[in-house]
Amino acid sequence: MNKHIHKFIVISLLILLISAACNQPGETSSTHYITLRDGLGREVSLDSAAKRIVSLAPPNTEMLFAVGAGSQVIGRDTFSDYPSEVTEITDIGGSFGEYNQEIILSLQPDLILAGGINTPELVQSLEDLGLKVFYLSNPTDLEGMYAMLQTIGMLSGHEERANQLIDALKERVNQVTTQLANISSRPTVFYELDATDPAKPFTPGAKTFYTSLIQLAGGENIAGKLEAEWAQISLEQLLTWDPDIILLGDAMWGETPEKVAGREGWGTLSAVKNGRVYAFDDNLMVRFGPRQVDGLEALAKLLHPEVFQ
Protein backbone atom coordinates (compact mmCIF):
# COMPACT_ATOMS: atom_id res chain seq x y z
CA MET A 1 0.00 0.00 0.00
CA ASN A 2 2.82 2.40 0.86
CA LYS A 3 4.45 2.11 -2.54
CA HIS A 4 1.24 3.12 -4.21
CA ILE A 5 0.81 6.12 -1.98
CA HIS A 6 4.34 7.20 -2.81
CA LYS A 7 3.79 6.95 -6.53
CA PHE A 8 0.53 8.71 -6.21
CA ILE A 9 1.99 11.67 -4.35
CA VAL A 10 4.87 12.01 -6.78
CA ILE A 11 2.58 11.90 -9.79
CA SER A 12 0.20 14.40 -8.33
CA LEU A 13 3.02 16.78 -7.46
CA LEU A 14 4.25 16.49 -11.03
CA ILE A 15 0.80 17.24 -12.37
CA LEU A 16 0.57 20.33 -10.19
CA LEU A 17 4.01 21.51 -11.24
CA ILE A 18 3.32 21.03 -14.92
CA SER A 19 -0.02 22.77 -14.79
CA ALA A 20 1.60 25.67 -13.00
CA ALA A 21 4.31 25.90 -15.62
CA CYS A 22 1.79 25.90 -18.42
CA ASN A 23 -0.02 28.73 -16.77
CA GLN A 24 2.58 31.35 -17.50
CA PRO A 25 1.44 33.98 -20.00
CA GLY A 26 3.70 34.50 -22.98
CA GLU A 27 5.42 37.84 -23.49
CA THR A 28 5.58 39.44 -26.90
CA SER A 29 8.40 41.88 -27.31
CA SER A 30 7.65 45.19 -28.88
CA THR A 31 8.38 48.73 -27.93
CA HIS A 32 6.25 49.71 -25.01
CA TYR A 33 5.54 53.05 -23.49
CA ILE A 34 7.00 51.78 -20.28
CA THR A 35 8.22 48.53 -18.75
CA LEU A 36 8.77 48.28 -15.04
CA ARG A 37 9.48 45.52 -12.59
CA ASP A 38 6.88 45.38 -9.86
CA GLY A 39 7.15 44.40 -6.22
CA LEU A 40 6.62 40.71 -7.01
CA GLY A 41 9.46 40.73 -9.50
CA ARG A 42 7.19 40.67 -12.50
CA GLU A 43 7.90 42.75 -15.59
CA VAL A 44 4.85 44.81 -16.44
CA SER A 45 4.60 46.73 -19.69
CA LEU A 46 2.16 49.41 -20.72
CA ASP A 47 1.61 50.68 -24.26
CA SER A 48 0.56 54.06 -23.01
CA ALA A 49 -0.09 55.78 -19.74
CA ALA A 50 -2.83 54.04 -17.80
CA LYS A 51 -6.10 55.89 -18.11
CA ARG A 52 -8.48 53.55 -16.32
CA ILE A 53 -6.90 52.62 -13.03
CA VAL A 54 -8.31 50.47 -10.23
CA SER A 55 -6.61 50.79 -6.86
CA LEU A 56 -6.70 47.91 -4.41
CA ALA A 57 -5.13 49.69 -1.43
CA PRO A 58 -5.57 53.09 0.25
CA PRO A 59 -1.94 54.29 -0.17
CA ASN A 60 -2.14 53.67 -3.92
CA THR A 61 -5.31 55.73 -4.13
CA GLU A 62 -3.80 58.57 -2.14
CA MET A 63 -0.69 58.65 -4.24
CA LEU A 64 -2.64 58.58 -7.50
CA PHE A 65 -4.48 61.67 -6.43
CA ALA A 66 -1.30 63.29 -5.18
CA VAL A 67 0.40 63.01 -8.57
CA GLY A 68 -2.66 64.38 -10.30
CA ALA A 69 -4.09 61.12 -11.62
CA GLY A 70 -7.27 61.33 -9.56
CA SER A 71 -9.57 61.49 -12.58
CA GLN A 72 -8.03 58.32 -13.96
CA VAL A 73 -9.08 56.28 -10.93
CA ILE A 74 -12.23 54.38 -11.85
CA GLY A 75 -12.36 51.93 -8.98
CA ARG A 76 -10.99 51.74 -5.45
CA ASP A 77 -11.07 49.44 -2.45
CA THR A 78 -13.48 49.91 0.41
CA PHE A 79 -10.90 51.31 2.77
CA SER A 80 -9.65 54.10 0.54
CA ASP A 81 -10.95 57.32 2.04
CA TYR A 82 -8.47 60.07 1.26
CA PRO A 83 -8.85 62.54 -0.29
CA SER A 84 -12.61 62.98 0.20
CA GLU A 85 -13.41 62.76 -3.54
CA VAL A 86 -12.42 59.14 -3.35
CA THR A 87 -15.74 58.12 -1.83
CA GLU A 88 -17.46 58.97 -5.09
CA ILE A 89 -15.47 56.36 -6.95
CA THR A 90 -16.85 52.85 -7.45
CA ASP A 91 -16.19 50.58 -4.50
CA ILE A 92 -14.75 47.25 -5.60
CA GLY A 93 -14.64 45.48 -2.25
CA GLY A 94 -11.63 44.49 -0.20
CA SER A 95 -12.82 43.58 3.25
CA PHE A 96 -11.88 40.05 4.34
CA GLY A 97 -9.29 40.28 1.59
CA GLU A 98 -11.93 39.54 -1.01
CA TYR A 99 -12.33 41.88 -3.93
CA ASN A 100 -15.31 41.85 -6.22
CA GLN A 101 -13.73 40.62 -9.40
CA GLU A 102 -16.92 40.90 -11.36
CA ILE A 103 -17.12 44.63 -10.78
CA ILE A 104 -13.45 45.03 -11.49
CA LEU A 105 -13.91 43.23 -14.79
CA SER A 106 -16.94 45.26 -15.74
CA LEU A 107 -15.02 48.50 -15.19
CA GLN A 108 -12.59 47.39 -17.90
CA PRO A 109 -9.49 48.88 -16.32
CA ASP A 110 -6.21 49.05 -18.17
CA LEU A 111 -4.20 48.85 -14.98
CA ILE A 112 -4.76 47.55 -11.46
CA LEU A 113 -2.52 48.80 -8.68
CA ALA A 114 -2.10 46.23 -5.95
CA GLY A 115 -0.41 46.92 -2.64
CA GLY A 116 1.44 45.07 0.09
CA ILE A 117 -1.87 44.20 1.65
CA ASN A 118 -2.87 42.11 -1.35
CA THR A 119 -1.91 38.49 -1.77
CA PRO A 120 0.11 37.13 -4.68
CA GLU A 121 -2.80 34.76 -5.27
CA LEU A 122 -5.09 37.70 -5.89
CA VAL A 123 -2.63 39.22 -8.34
CA GLN A 124 -2.41 35.93 -10.18
CA SER A 125 -6.14 35.44 -10.43
CA LEU A 126 -6.64 38.96 -11.74
CA GLU A 127 -3.95 38.30 -14.32
CA ASP A 128 -5.69 35.06 -15.22
CA LEU A 129 -8.76 37.11 -16.04
CA GLY A 130 -6.71 39.01 -18.58
CA LEU A 131 -6.17 42.11 -16.47
CA LYS A 132 -2.91 43.95 -16.01
CA VAL A 133 -1.71 44.23 -12.43
CA PHE A 134 1.17 46.16 -10.94
CA TYR A 135 2.11 45.25 -7.38
CA LEU A 136 3.64 47.93 -5.20
CA SER A 137 5.42 46.54 -2.16
CA ASN A 138 5.19 48.38 1.11
CA PRO A 139 8.07 50.84 1.53
CA THR A 140 9.82 50.97 4.88
CA ASP A 141 11.41 54.38 4.62
CA LEU A 142 10.96 57.69 2.85
CA GLU A 143 13.24 56.74 -0.04
CA GLY A 144 11.01 53.82 -0.70
CA MET A 145 7.98 56.04 -0.56
CA TYR A 146 9.46 58.45 -3.11
CA ALA A 147 10.20 55.55 -5.42
CA MET A 148 6.60 54.43 -5.10
CA LEU A 149 5.38 57.94 -5.96
CA GLN A 150 7.64 58.03 -8.95
CA THR A 151 6.44 54.64 -10.18
CA ILE A 152 2.83 55.66 -9.85
CA GLY A 153 3.63 58.88 -11.66
CA MET A 154 5.23 56.97 -14.52
CA LEU A 155 2.43 54.48 -14.81
CA SER A 156 -0.28 57.12 -14.87
CA GLY A 157 1.52 59.53 -17.20
CA HIS A 158 2.27 62.14 -14.54
CA GLU A 159 5.97 61.58 -14.19
CA GLU A 160 6.81 65.23 -14.13
CA ARG A 161 4.22 66.11 -11.54
CA ALA A 162 5.41 63.20 -9.44
CA ASN A 163 9.00 64.38 -9.58
CA GLN A 164 7.94 67.86 -8.62
CA LEU A 165 6.03 66.48 -5.69
CA ILE A 166 9.00 64.41 -4.61
CA ASP A 167 11.29 67.41 -4.76
CA ALA A 168 8.88 69.45 -2.67
CA LEU A 169 8.58 66.69 -0.12
CA LYS A 170 12.34 66.27 0.05
CA GLU A 171 12.66 69.99 0.63
CA ARG A 172 10.29 69.85 3.58
CA VAL A 173 12.09 66.88 5.04
CA ASN A 174 15.36 68.71 4.58
CA GLN A 175 13.94 71.68 6.45
CA VAL A 176 13.07 69.48 9.37
CA THR A 177 16.41 67.71 9.52
CA THR A 178 18.37 70.95 9.19
CA GLN A 179 16.47 72.54 12.01
CA LEU A 180 17.12 69.48 14.09
CA ALA A 181 20.83 69.45 13.30
CA ASN A 182 21.87 70.90 16.60
CA ILE A 183 19.62 69.21 19.05
CA SER A 184 21.28 68.16 22.23
CA SER A 185 19.23 65.11 23.00
CA ARG A 186 16.85 62.66 21.42
CA PRO A 187 13.76 61.99 23.46
CA THR A 188 12.68 58.36 23.66
CA VAL A 189 9.27 57.70 22.19
CA PHE A 190 6.79 54.95 22.84
CA TYR A 191 4.33 54.71 19.94
CA GLU A 192 1.24 52.88 21.00
CA LEU A 193 -0.50 50.89 18.27
CA ASP A 194 -3.01 49.18 20.49
CA ALA A 195 -3.67 48.85 24.19
CA THR A 196 -6.86 46.88 24.34
CA ASP A 197 -5.09 45.05 27.14
CA PRO A 198 -3.25 47.88 28.92
CA ALA A 199 -0.91 45.39 30.50
CA LYS A 200 0.27 44.24 27.08
CA PRO A 201 0.34 47.07 24.58
CA PHE A 202 1.43 46.78 20.95
CA THR A 203 4.16 48.93 19.51
CA PRO A 204 6.09 48.99 16.23
CA GLY A 205 9.55 47.46 16.19
CA ALA A 206 12.60 47.87 14.01
CA LYS A 207 12.45 48.18 10.24
CA THR A 208 9.11 49.94 10.31
CA PHE A 209 8.28 53.33 8.96
CA TYR A 210 7.52 54.41 12.48
CA THR A 211 11.07 53.87 13.56
CA SER A 212 12.58 55.74 10.63
CA LEU A 213 10.18 58.66 10.90
CA ILE A 214 10.69 58.99 14.61
CA GLN A 215 14.40 58.88 13.97
CA LEU A 216 14.18 61.65 11.39
CA ALA A 217 12.03 63.73 13.71
CA GLY A 218 14.81 63.76 16.24
CA GLY A 219 13.58 61.04 18.50
CA GLU A 220 14.21 57.40 19.18
CA ASN A 221 11.70 54.58 19.05
CA ILE A 222 12.14 52.96 22.39
CA ALA A 223 10.99 49.65 20.95
CA GLY A 224 13.34 50.02 18.03
CA LYS A 225 15.38 46.97 18.97
CA LEU A 226 12.43 44.61 18.76
CA GLU A 227 12.13 42.35 15.73
CA ALA A 228 8.41 42.28 15.10
CA GLU A 229 6.47 44.82 13.11
CA TRP A 230 3.73 44.69 15.68
CA ALA A 231 5.46 43.83 18.91
CA GLN A 232 3.56 43.13 22.07
CA ILE A 233 5.36 44.12 25.24
CA SER A 234 4.49 43.88 28.89
CA LEU A 235 3.71 46.90 31.05
CA GLU A 236 6.71 45.98 33.15
CA GLN A 237 8.96 46.36 30.14
CA LEU A 238 7.44 49.73 29.41
CA LEU A 239 8.01 50.83 33.01
CA THR A 240 11.60 49.73 32.76
CA TRP A 241 12.13 51.66 29.56
CA ASP A 242 10.23 54.67 30.85
CA PRO A 243 10.00 56.64 27.59
CA ASP A 244 10.02 60.43 27.54
CA ILE A 245 7.04 60.66 25.25
CA ILE A 246 4.05 58.48 24.55
CA LEU A 247 2.24 58.83 21.24
CA LEU A 248 -1.24 57.34 20.92
CA GLY A 249 -1.47 55.91 17.42
CA ASP A 250 -4.74 54.38 18.53
CA ALA A 251 -6.29 57.77 19.14
CA MET A 252 -8.59 57.21 16.18
CA TRP A 253 -10.04 54.27 18.08
CA GLY A 254 -10.81 56.44 21.07
CA GLU A 255 -7.72 56.47 23.26
CA THR A 256 -6.95 59.78 24.96
CA PRO A 257 -4.18 61.02 27.27
CA GLU A 258 -6.74 61.18 30.12
CA LYS A 259 -7.65 57.52 29.66
CA VAL A 260 -4.00 56.60 29.62
CA ALA A 261 -3.39 58.42 32.88
CA GLY A 262 -6.21 56.39 34.39
CA ARG A 263 -4.77 53.03 33.38
CA GLU A 264 -3.62 50.72 36.13
CA GLY A 265 0.13 51.11 36.65
CA TRP A 266 0.63 53.69 33.93
CA GLY A 267 0.52 56.62 36.34
CA THR A 268 4.12 56.12 37.35
CA LEU A 269 5.49 56.62 33.85
CA SER A 270 7.46 59.85 33.45
CA ALA A 271 5.65 60.68 30.24
CA VAL A 272 2.33 60.53 32.05
CA LYS A 273 3.57 62.51 35.01
CA ASN A 274 5.03 65.20 32.76
CA GLY A 275 1.96 65.37 30.60
CA ARG A 276 3.84 64.27 27.49
CA VAL A 277 1.20 61.89 26.22
CA TYR A 278 -0.21 62.94 22.87
CA ALA A 279 -2.86 61.67 20.51
CA PHE A 280 -1.50 61.08 17.02
CA ASP A 281 -3.19 60.50 13.68
CA ASP A 282 -1.87 57.10 12.75
CA ASN A 283 -2.83 57.62 9.12
CA LEU A 284 0.00 60.14 8.90
CA MET A 285 2.43 57.35 9.65
CA VAL A 286 0.91 54.35 8.07
CA ARG A 287 -0.58 55.54 4.79
CA PHE A 288 2.40 55.61 2.52
CA GLY A 289 2.52 58.86 0.63
CA PRO A 290 2.91 62.61 1.00
CA ARG A 291 0.93 62.57 4.25
CA GLN A 292 3.84 60.83 5.85
CA VAL A 293 5.82 64.03 5.46
CA ASP A 294 2.96 65.79 7.23
CA GLY A 295 3.41 63.14 9.85
CA LEU A 296 7.11 63.80 10.08
CA GLU A 297 6.52 67.47 10.61
CA ALA A 298 3.86 66.82 13.25
CA LEU A 299 6.21 64.43 14.99
CA ALA A 300 9.08 66.90 14.95
CA LYS A 301 6.90 69.57 16.51
CA LEU A 302 5.85 67.26 19.31
CA LEU A 303 9.31 65.92 19.99
CA HIS A 304 11.17 69.20 19.77
CA PRO A 305 8.81 72.07 20.53
CA GLU A 306 11.83 74.07 21.45
CA VAL A 307 12.98 74.09 17.82
CA PHE A 308 9.64 74.44 16.06
CA GLN A 309 7.29 77.15 17.24
Task: Give whole-number Cα distances, 209 to 205, 214, 264, in Å.
Answer: 9, 8, 30
Residue of 45, 56, 37 lying closest to 132 (CA atoms) = 45
Q: Please, what is the minimum distance in Å from the beta carbon of residue 201 to other proteins?
A: 15
Would you say 205 and 228 are in contact if contact means Cβ atoms under 8 Å apart? Answer: yes
Q: Please, what is the minimum distance in Å from the beta carbon of residue 177 to other proteins?
A: 29
97 binds other proteins (CB under 8 A): yes
194: three-class secondary structure by DSSP: strand
183 binds other proteins (CB under 8 A): no
- Segment contacting other proteins (CB under 8 A): 34-42, 145-153, 212-220, 275-283? 34-42
196 binds other proteins (CB under 8 A): no
105 binds other proteins (CB under 8 A): yes
- 45 - beta bridge partners? 35
20 binds other proteins (CB under 8 A): yes
Q: Tell me which residues in 133-152 interact with other proteins (CB under 8 A).
A: 138
Residue of 75, 81, 43, 34 lying closest to 62 (CA atoms) = 81
Task: Give whole-number Cα distances, 18 to 14, 126, 239, in Å.
Answer: 6, 21, 57
Q: Please, what is the minimum distance in Å from the beta carbon of residue 17 to other proteins?
A: 7
Report CA torsion sign: 52, 54, 60, 65: positive
Q: Which is nearer to other proteins, 92 or 217 (CB)?
A: 92
**Which one of residues 21, 182, 305, 309 is an interface residue with other proteins (CB under 8 A)?**
21
Residue of 143, 52, 35 lying closest to 92 (CA atoms) = 52
95 binds other proteins (CB under 8 A): yes
Q: Please, what is the minimum distance in Å from the beta carbon of residue 174 to other proteins?
A: 31
Q: Tell me how far apart the alpha carbons of residues 296 and 217 are, in angstroms, rounded to a whole number.
A: 6
267 binds other proteins (CB under 8 A): no
Q: Tell me how far apart the alpha carbons of residues 293 and 226 are, in angstroms, rounded to a whole number.
A: 24
115: three-class secondary structure by DSSP: strand
181 binds other proteins (CB under 8 A): no
Q: Which is nearer to other proteins, 24 or 84 (CB)?
A: 24
DSSP letter at 99? B
**Which one of residues 48, 119, 234, 274 is an interface residue with other proteins (CB under 8 A)?**
119
Q: Tell me which residues in 38-57 interact with other proteins (CB under 8 A).
A: 40-42
93 binds other proteins (CB under 8 A): yes
Q: Which is nearer to other proteins, 21 or 181 (CB)?
A: 21
Size of interface with other proteins, in residues (CB under 8 A) = 49
Q: Tell me how far apart the alpha carbons of residues 237 and 306 are, in angstroms, rounded to a whole number.
A: 29
Task: Give whole-number Cα distances, 211 to 219, 226, 255, 286, 301, in Å.
Answer: 9, 11, 21, 12, 17
Residues that bind other proteins (CB under 8 A): 1, 5, 9, 12-13, 15-17, 19-21, 23-24, 40-42, 78, 91-103, 105-106, 108, 116-117, 119-125, 128-130, 138, 228-230
